């Protein structure tokens, strides 16, 4: 099963791996032609009804694979309104090769003839709302035809994720869907074929520019309108909470506050005026502070728990008490991680251990990233939380899904890059599900580190990553 949003991400990742969309469209079109061959013998009359998007593009390709059929192509709309270059190029190829291909601008002019097969390629995963004209009239003409209806990817008018139709939808006999089954097809009464269109498995397994699409594009007037992050950190160490807080801001959080011991407040403030501190009395986090921390945390979307807290037993007892009572989303990092396996919490946790911390949590790791991915996936399933295990290849797992991040470089083993990652994950977890937030945070943190090394060579320091997070998250794709 794959949702439309994830399909778009995988599509983009495939392109970044060197498999361009036009090649995917050629494979999709070929799969559509094979479905027509399963529906009627050569010589049969095939009416292709193509929309202006890539769903239509797939069928414009299919026409070239059906020369031994009597094919007529009906493009709904003027050719210059075709939405993508790859679809337009396929239209122009049909015209240049003098296929029977006509543009229908008024649905009253749509005449399917008396086809044996109709290919429904009006709309696929790009449909929004009820079918407008001319697609709506075309859909009823298709439904009235005495023909086998082959739908491309999803019957037009059906939402690929829910299977619902906001208005009229094509009633297909067969559906050829691409790469993986769409959830909405379970609600469709048709014979569904899943066609492999040559998307490498790596496009799903490895993070890539497609994973950033889930973020949307904040308009230029302001950074991502994300949410509010509380960093609970500081004590023995003061740089860590400051790095995490600054990273959360640069990764799109609207507001970040740092809850820290009063004894180190001035030192933490010294890292940046933009930090808003909420000091609690004393030198380190202790159970006495947990009540006020829970109140403070309830005014934020996500808590980043751990940077610089230290591992004093009072502090760890406070971490346990906090997680026992907390029910929202928390990124857990550094010394706080060792509490997670034995705490029974209703909170949604995104844990960011390096391999040493993973072992301290009771997890296993391995030098080979494939083995490590299996071990981390199993441990995440036992733990019941999201794991982002840092390494040359970061492994993200939530017990179901898993992803591997390849961005980053050896320079990033320098102290503090983990705090930056935790802060970025905190901001992203305000707007994305924790698994996606972890994958995007790992990808962006590594890309920021790669950009820093590209510009300055090695000798990277954690603060070099912070300023590069916005470009890594919203910059032009690779
Ligand atoms: N993801 C993959 O790996 C591949 C997908 N392919 C095919 O691409 C379509 C998705 O294409 P897209 O251009 O994003 O959208 P559609 O063609 O489905 O529709 C967009 C098109 O339709 C118009 N539109 C939207 N809503 C309505 C409406 N309610 N009424 C009328 N018109 C509507 C919109 O304006 C656009 O013009 C996917 O399904 C696959 O078939 C690739 O080709 C192969 C790889
Ligand atoms: K369709």
Best residue for ligand 1 mutational test, from 5, 58, 126 (most atoms within 8 Å of Cβ): 126
For residue 77, which atom of ligand 1 is closest to its CA?
37
Give the pLDDT of residue 221: 47
For residue 152, which atom of ligand 1 is closest to its CA?
41
Q: What ipTM was reported for this prediction?
A: 0.95
The residues, ordered by sequence, that sit 6+ positions from 23 with a Cβ below 8 Å of its Cβ are 198
> How far is the C-alpha of 56 from the C-alpha of 52, rounded, in Å?
6
Cα atoms in the 13 Å half-sphere on the side-chain side of 59: 33
Give the pLDDT of residue 375: 97
pTM value > 0.90: yes
Best residue for ligand 1 mutational test, from 54, 134, 138, 196 (most atoms within 8 Å of Cβ): 54
- Structural Rg of the chain based on CA atoms: 27
What is the distance in A from the centroid of ligand 1 to the CA of 51?
8
Give the pLDDT of residue 252: 93
- Residue 175 CA: which ligand is closest? 2
CATH class of 221-474: alpha beta
Residue 240 marked in a binding site: yes
What is the distance in A from the centroid of ligand 1 to the CA of 54?
5
Give the pLDDT of residue 367: 93
> How far is the C-alpha of 351 from the C-alpha of 462, rounded, in Å?
20
Residue 254 marked in a binding site: no
Q: Which of 43, 50, 38, 56 is nearest to 191 (CA)?
A: 38
Task: Provide CATH code, domain 4-205.
Answer: 3.40.50.10260
Residue 222 marked in a binding site: no
Residue 235 marked in a binding site: no
Give the residue whose CA is nearest to atom 15 of ligand 1: 126
Q: Which of 430, 429, 423 is nearest to 445 (CA)?
A: 423
Consecutive sets of 10 residues in the chain, 478 residues long: mean pLDDT of each?
Answer: 95 97 98 98 98 98 98 98 98 98 93 97 95 96 98 98 96 98 97 98 98 77 73 96 97 96 97 94 97 98 97 97 98 97 97 97 96 97 97 96 96 94 98 97 98 91 96 80
Tell me the domain boundaries of the chain: 4-205, 221-474
Instruction: Kindly list the protein residues whose Cβ atom lies closer than 6 A to any atom of ligand 1.
Output: 7, 11, 24-25, 28, 51-58, 83-84, 123-132, 135, 152-153, 178-179, 197
**Is residue 116 within 8 Å of residue 40, measured between CB atoms?**
yes
For residue 167, which atom of ligand 1 is closest to its CA?
29
The residues, ordered by sequence, that sit 6+ positions from 126 with a Cβ below 8 Å of its Cβ are 53, 54, 55
Give the residue whose CA is nearest to atom 9 of ligand 1: 55
> How far is the C-alpha of 156 from the C-alpha of 160, rounded, in Å?
9
Strand order in the sheet with 329-332: 276-280, 255-261, 228-232, 302-305, 329-332, 348-351, 386-389, 394-397, 402-405
The residues, ordered by sequence, that sit 6+ positions from 175 with a Cβ below 8 Å of its Cβ are 150, 151, 153, 154, 155, 185, 188, 190, 191, 192, 193
């Amino acid at each position: 099963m794959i949702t439309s949003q994830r399909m778009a991400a995988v599509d983009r990742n495939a392109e970044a791996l060197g498999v361009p969309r036009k090649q995917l469209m050629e494979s999709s079109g070929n799969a559509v032609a094979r479905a027509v061959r399963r529906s009627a013998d050569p010589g049969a009359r095939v009416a292709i009804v193509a929309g202006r998007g890539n769903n239509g593009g797939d069928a414009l390709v299919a026409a070239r694979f059906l020369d031994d059929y009597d094919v007529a192509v009906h493009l709904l709309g003027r050719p210059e309104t075709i939405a993508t270059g790859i679809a337009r190029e396929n239209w122009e190829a049909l015209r240049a090769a003098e296929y029977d291909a006509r543009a229908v601008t008024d649905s009253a002019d749509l005449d399917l003839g008396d086809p044996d097969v109709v290919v429904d390629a009006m709309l696929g995963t790009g449909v929004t709302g009820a079918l407008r004209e001319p697609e709506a009239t075309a859909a009823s003409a298709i439904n009235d035809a005495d023909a086998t209806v082959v739908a491309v990817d999803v019957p037009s008018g059906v939402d690929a994720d829910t299977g619902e139709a906001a208005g009229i939808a094509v009633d297909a006999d067969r559906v050829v869907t691409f790469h993986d089954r769409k959830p909405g097809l379970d609600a469709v009464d048709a014979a569904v074929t899943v066609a492999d269109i040559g998307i490498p498995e790596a496009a799903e397994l490895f993070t890539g520019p497609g994973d950033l699409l889930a973020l949307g594009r904040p308009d230029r007037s302001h950074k991502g309108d994300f949410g509010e992050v509380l960093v609970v950190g500081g004590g023995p160490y003061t740089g860590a909470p400051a790095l995490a807080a600054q990273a959360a801001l640069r990764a799109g959080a609207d507001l970040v506050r740092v809850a820290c011991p009063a004894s180190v407040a001035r030192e933490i403030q010294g890292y940046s005026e933009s930090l808003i501190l909420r000091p609690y009395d004393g030198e380190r986090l202790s159970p006495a502070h947990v009540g006020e921390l829970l109140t403070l945390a309830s005014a934020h979307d996500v808590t980043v728990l751990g940077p610089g807290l230290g591992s004093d037993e009072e502090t760890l007892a406070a971490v346990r008490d906090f997680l026992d009572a907390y029910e929202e989303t928390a990124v857990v990092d550094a010394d706080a991680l060792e509490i997670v396996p034995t705490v029974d919490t209703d909170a949604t946790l995104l844990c960011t251990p390096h391999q040493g911390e993973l072992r301290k949590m009771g997890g296993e790791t391995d030098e080979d990233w494939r083995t490590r991915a299996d071990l981390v996936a199993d441990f995440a399933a036992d733990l019941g939380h999201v794991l982002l295990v840092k390494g040359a290849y970061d492994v993200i797992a939530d017990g179901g899904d898993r992803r591997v991040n390849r961005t980053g470089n050896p320079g990033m083993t320098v102290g503090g890059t983990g705090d930056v990652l935790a802060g970025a994950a905190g901001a992203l977890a305000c707007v994305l599900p924790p698994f996606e937030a972890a994958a995007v945070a790992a990808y962006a943190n590594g890309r920021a580190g790669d950009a820093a090394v590209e510009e300055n060579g090695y000798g990277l320091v954690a603060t070099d990553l912070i300023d590069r997070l916005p470009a890594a998250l919203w910059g032009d794709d690779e």
